[in-house]
Amino acid sequence: DAMVIQNPRYQVTQFGKPVTLSCSQTLNHNVMYWYQQKSSQAPKLLFHYYDKDFNNEADTPDNFQSRRPNTSFCFLDIRSPGLGDAAMYLCATSRDYGPQRQFFGPGTRLTVL
Amino acid sequence: GQSLEQPSEVTAVEGAIVQINCTYQTSGFYGLSWYQQHDGGAPTFLSYNGLDGLEETGRFSSFLSRSDSYGYLLLQELQMKDSASYFCAVRDRGNTGFQKLVFGTGTRLLVSP
C-alpha cells in the first residue's frame, strides 16, 4: 500500500543534542509538509516542500531545519532541542497544492530530557 | 489573523447523531476540510467542502456556509470507534502565497455504550 512512513516512532534526546527525524513516502506526491503537534493542540505547520522548493512558515524557529534530498524522503533537523520542542512531529504529503487531501504519517513523538 | 473555533468536547452514546461545529476567520478561504485523529495516531482525511452545501460520505456528512463562515461535521449511527479528536481545517493562502491548511482547535468526541 502506498503510504507515508516516519522513523523513528519515538525519539528521546537530551536538551541541546541535535536530532533528525525522517519521513518517506511511496505516493510520489509533489508536496511534503512537517507539522508540530503538542498535546491536545492542533497540528502547526513548520514548513513544506513543493518538489525541491522549500517554504518556511514565518514563525518557525531557526532551530528547525529541513532537507528533501529526493521526491521520496524528507528530514526534519532540530539543531538544539529545548524542553519546549517536545511534541509529536507529523509528516504529510499531498499530490499538489489546492484542494488536495493531505496524507499523514504516523508521527514521531519527541521527548527532550 | 486566522482563527477556527470548535467545541472542545462532545459526548454521545452509540447509535446517536452528533454535530461538530466550526466557525472560522481567515484572510483567504479555499475550502473547509475535516480530519479525524485517534489518540496517538495520525490525522486522517474525512471530507472537503469547497462550495456551500452538504457533502455526504457514508455515516459522515459535512456542511459549509461561506456567507456565515461556518461549517459542521455530522456523524450518524455513532460507534465506539468514532471516539477521537476531530479537526476542521481551512485552506488559506500562506505567507509564501501557496494554499496551506490551518487547523481548528479540535473537538474531542467521546462515544459511550
DSSP A1-63: ---EEEE-SEEEE-TT--EEEEEEESS--SEEEEEEE-TTS--EEEEEEETTEEEE-TTS-TT
Q: What's the grid cell of residue A41? A: 493542540
Q: What is the pLDDT of residues A90-113, one digit of tens each?
A: 999 999 887 679 999 999 999 999
**Average pLDDT in the B74-89 region?**
97
Q: What is the pLDDT of residues A54-72, one digit of tens each?
A: 988 888 999 999 999 999 9
pLDDT score of A31 more than 70: yes
- Inspect the interface and report whether the beta carbons of A101 and B106 lie closer than 8 Å: no
What's the confidence (pLDDT) of residue B91?
82
Please give the mean pLDDT across all residues of chain A.
93
Among A37, A39, A46, the residue to mutate for chain B (most B Cβ within 10 A): A37
What's the confidence (pLDDT) of residue B26?
83
Chain B residue at shortest CA distance from A94 = B100
**pLDDT-based confidence at residue B101 (cuts at 50, 70, 90):** confident
Q: What is the pLDDT of residues B15-30, one digit of tens each?
A: 999 999 999 998 778 8
Beta-carbon contacts of B12 under 8 Å, excluding residues fewer than 6 positions away, are B18, B78, B109, B110, B111, B112
Question: What is residue B102's three-state secondary structure?
Answer: strand
Q: Is A91 on the interface with B (CB under 8 A)?
A: no
Give the number of residues written for chain B: 113
- How many Cβ pairs closer than 8 A exist between chain A and B? 54
- Cβ atoms A72, A91 nearer than 8 A: no
Residues 51-70 of A with CB under 8 A from B: 55-58
DSSP string, B11-71: EEETT--EEEEEEEE-SS---EEEEEE-TTS--EEEEEESSSEEEEETTEEEEEETTTTEE
**pLDDT-based confidence at residue B3 (cuts at 50, 70, 90):** confident
- Cβ atoms A91, A6 nearer than 8 A: yes
pLDDT score of B38 more than 90: yes
Q: What is the distance between the alpha carbons of residues B88 and B23, in angstroms, rounded to a whole number? A: 9
What's the confidence (pLDDT) of residue B27?
77
Q: What's the grid cell of residue A80? A: 538544539
What's the confidence (pLDDT) of residue B95?
61
- Closest partner residue to A42 among B94, B99, B104, by Cβ? B104
Q: Which amino acid is at B17?
A: I
